[in-house]
Structure 1
Amino acid sequence: MIISRSPLRISLGGGGTDLPSYYRDHEGFLVAAAIDKYVYLTLHETFVEDIIIKYSQMERVPTADEIEHPIIREALRMLEIRETNLELTSMADIPAGTGLGSSGSFTTALLKTLHAYRKNLVHPEELAEQACHIELDLLKDPIGKQDQYIAAYGGLTCFTFCSNGKVLADPLKVSTETLFDLEDNLLLFFTGYSRSASSILKEQDDESKKKSDDMLQNLHFVKDLGFRSRDALEKGDLYEFGSLMNVHWDFKKQRSGSMSNGRIDEWYALALRNGAVGGKLIGAGGGGFLMFYAEDKVRLRRAVTAAGLKEVRFRFDFEGTKIVVAS
């Protein structure tokens, strides 16, 4: 029995600049944080000849090539796993399609599990790059590399996406006091909406490939916000960080008409009237989780939960994708 877990994530600045359509020409930068909400994968050998896979659906197939789940199929091919007496099960603390990077977390957890099955040691950089290769290169999803890298590394991490495809990872240099204050004053609320990140990001991807000046100027500015967010956090100026989140959200909404809706805008305005310095919708947009940095978290929590949103409390994860059990 092998059990792995991979953390979900929140973006702290610069999100959207990790797509190849942007960073290949302009280099991307963002700050992300892994949180203690996880995707779990279990793998064990069975006494039947078929491969059994359990996720939101169930598959039982004689060979890996017949698996419908594209990420699982390609991961088994990548590691050349041809055994068929296997059962693979996935579960998660948070539903997919809610902006916390679950697809990247799933892929890194899956690959970590399969490497453990093969008794391979794998560095976080290699794990993340393999996950990106499956999702971006093989499956052609119009997504970025943030989710796979922060899931693999964990922590609060700054990523530079180089034009040659290399990704540089550096820990965010924050004091212990700033770290605890940030953790205490960031609040996550579920909007009740789920959405496909790929469909929303495709619009950004297409505009970037067409060299749309509006899109590129937007992303240039958001990248600069990523640097400014890093600097504010490293200086311990959390009020400035919260204010930059507000600016980031305004520019993020300009990238797509699908980024927000009337209800989300109402909840956002409610939060700003009740103790939030700033906030944004996590992930590609269109639904999922609203995150706020709060000066008065008690007042904010009371107002937003009274409006019907469910809070998910979290702490940061500093372990990244890991094997929990191997027996």
Structure 2
Amino acid sequence: MTSLVQTLSISDRHSILDAVERIEAGTLQIVFVVDEAGCLVGVVTNGDVRRHLLQGGQTDLPVTACMNRQFRAVPVGTSREELLKLFDLGYIALPGVDAEHRLVEVYTRQLAASPEVPVLARARAPVRMSFCGGGTDLTYFFIDHPAAVLSCTVGLYAHATLVPRNDRQISIHAEDLGQEEHFDSLADLLAADGKSLLATIISVIKPSYGFDLFLRSDFPVGSGLGGSSAATTATIAVFNELRQDRWSTYEIAELAFQAERLCFGIAGGWQDQYASAFGGFNLIEFENQRNLVHPIRLEDAIRNEFESCLLLCNTGISHDSGRLHEQQREEIEAQDNQTDLLHASVTLCRRMHRHLIRGELHGVGLCLDEAWRLKKRFSSGISHGRLDEIYESAIAAGAVGGKLLGAGGGGFFLFYVQPQSRQRVIRVLNGLGCQTQNFRFESSGVTSWRAKIQ
């Protein structure tokens, strides 16, 4: 029972005079009459007492003699919206009753704001599709040569949830991998050997509180969609949601690169982190002094048509992008013509960009084919007989062009297919044991929000 209920309630055994004294002692000019069980049976105001006295009544009679039995009560927990509407109709105070009609709360126009409750943070980051320029985003190339990558994000996400704790303990749950890590404190995490990617991200952020972290994904591991970068970006964003001075999108991408590439040691380029952080269609330029993300605004008709002509094909072959990037670097350093291939990739990327913004989608499809044939020359590990069979079968069935997403070796193919050839290409790919799927472009990058802990 709240203090306001104690102040404004009176037993049905008390007299009218007792009720008057209780009314005059308060500011609301009202009391609520309850029986022995605490159930609300009536309401008394100054007006009720005045009418009783004008009719010749005495003040030593029980309060039940003058109380109003036709009163308005509301269930405990009635929403603020409903209470405000009742107060706006003229009510000064409203009794709140439980299921047994016991008086347990009194609501007034001075409704307190909801108390602050614990919150959790959530974030999701989309994966990317790289159309052209992959490989030029490696630092050892663009430190001396300008590079560019054309990419977009799609509606497949890494999802992160952060639940702060009242102690210093840290619990990490990677749903897709079926892995859990537990640490008594951040110091224990920092001192641990063989940390996971998620634990490595936390060692970069160094939060000052304990928490439970949960991560799950909409895509398979080794898909070539930049999944590890999406997971890293989502994890950083979920911590960013609880910061007072939030990191910018560029800073999120840079922290993701630092955690994934430098601290955890996954070899690779820069494009995945920027694509997942910024989202949408982008031409991303990499130079020695700066990295710049240039958003591409496509007309709705171009965007919709492009989406309708693309087909995602899961080869079912997983790959190790880090090892492939290391192999590519070794072969580039060993062969003089590799730098020329990367320059050709940048030139092709800019040509594809022009085709895309002008809505020349058939030209984009042809560029995809050219990009794939060029990419295969980067490293001997990018393709093999099985992948070549899948690609050439799709082209023979009517696909205009396509490319393997990610570093190579497996994962997903992306094909550009005109509508009259789509079903034929799908049948051929399914016959080869591949799974095809539709998808939607995602215009937003990493997104985070807070929710109350229920």
TM-score range, shorter chain: over 0.9
SS in 2 for 1:26: coil
Task: Show the counterpart of 1:60.
Answer: 182
Percent same amino acid among aligned pairs? 31
Task: Show the counterpart of 1:215.
Answer: 338
- 1:211–1:227 CA distance, 2 compared to 1 (3 A): farther
Matched, 1:200 2:324: yes
Task: Show the counterpart of 1:5.
Answer: 124
One-letter identity of the residue aligned with 1:40: H
Matches within 5 A, 1:36-55: 36-46=155-165, 50-55=169-174
Task: Show the counterpart of 2:304.
Answer: 180
- 8 Å CA contact retained: 1:172, 1:230: no
Q: What is the CA-CA distance between 1:205 and the residue it aligns to?
A: 2.2
Q: What is the CA-CA distance between 1:175 and the residue it aligns to?
A: 2.1
Cα deviation 1:148-190 (Å, max 9, x = unaligned): 00000000000000112x2111112432211111111110010
- 8 Å CA contact retained: 1:76, 1:82: no
One-letter identity of the residue aligned with 1:79: I
After alignment, is 10-19 or 171-180 more displaced? 171-180
After alignment, is 315-324 or 168-177 more displaced? 168-177
Matches within 5 A, 1:100-179: 100-164=225-289, 166-179=290-303
Q: What is the CA-CA distance between 1:143 and the residue it aligns to?
A: 0.7
One-letter identity of the residue aligned with 2:181: E
Task: Show the counterpart of 2:72.
Answer: none
- 8 Å CA contact retained: 2:167, 2:209: no
- 8 Å CA contact retained: 2:153, 2:279: yes
Task: Show the counterpart of 1:259.
Answer: 382
After alignment, is 63-72 or 97-106 more displaced? 63-72
Task: Tell me the TM-score normalized by structure 2.
Answer: 0.68
Pair member with larger Rg: 2
Higher relative contact order (CA 8 A, sep 6+): 1
Task: Show the counterpart of 2:412.
Answer: 289
Distance 1:211 1:167 in 2: 27
SS in 2 for 1:216: helix
One-letter identity of the residue aligned with 1:321: V
Distance 1:283 1:180 in 2: 24
Unpaired stretches in structure 1, ≥5 consecutive residues: none
- 1:82–1:73 CA distance, 2 compared to 1 (3 A): farther
Distance 1:120 1:184 in 2: 41
Task: Tell me the TM-score normalized by structure 1.
Answer: 0.94
Task: Show the counterpart of 2:197.
Answer: 71
Aligned residue pairs total 324
Q: What is the CA-CA distance between 1:53 and the residue it aligns to?
A: 0.9
Identify, as 1 or 2, the structure richer in helix.
Answer: 1
Q: What is the CA-CA distance between 1:202 and the residue it aligns to?
A: 0.5
One-letter identity of the residue aligned with 1:155: G
One-letter identity of the residue aligned with 1:171: P
Distance 1:140 1:194 in 2: 19
Distance 1:128 1:211 in 2: 31
Q: What is the CA-CA distance between 1:121 and the residue it aligns to?
A: 2.3
- 1:138–1:59 CA distance, 2 compared to 1 (3 A): closer
Matched, 1:233 2:356: yes
SS in 2 for 1:276: coil
After alignment, is 118-127 or 18-27 more displaced? 118-127
One-letter identity of the residue aligned with 1:256: S
- 1:270–1:308 CA distance, 2 compared to 1 (3 A): same
Distance 2:341 2:125 in 1: 31
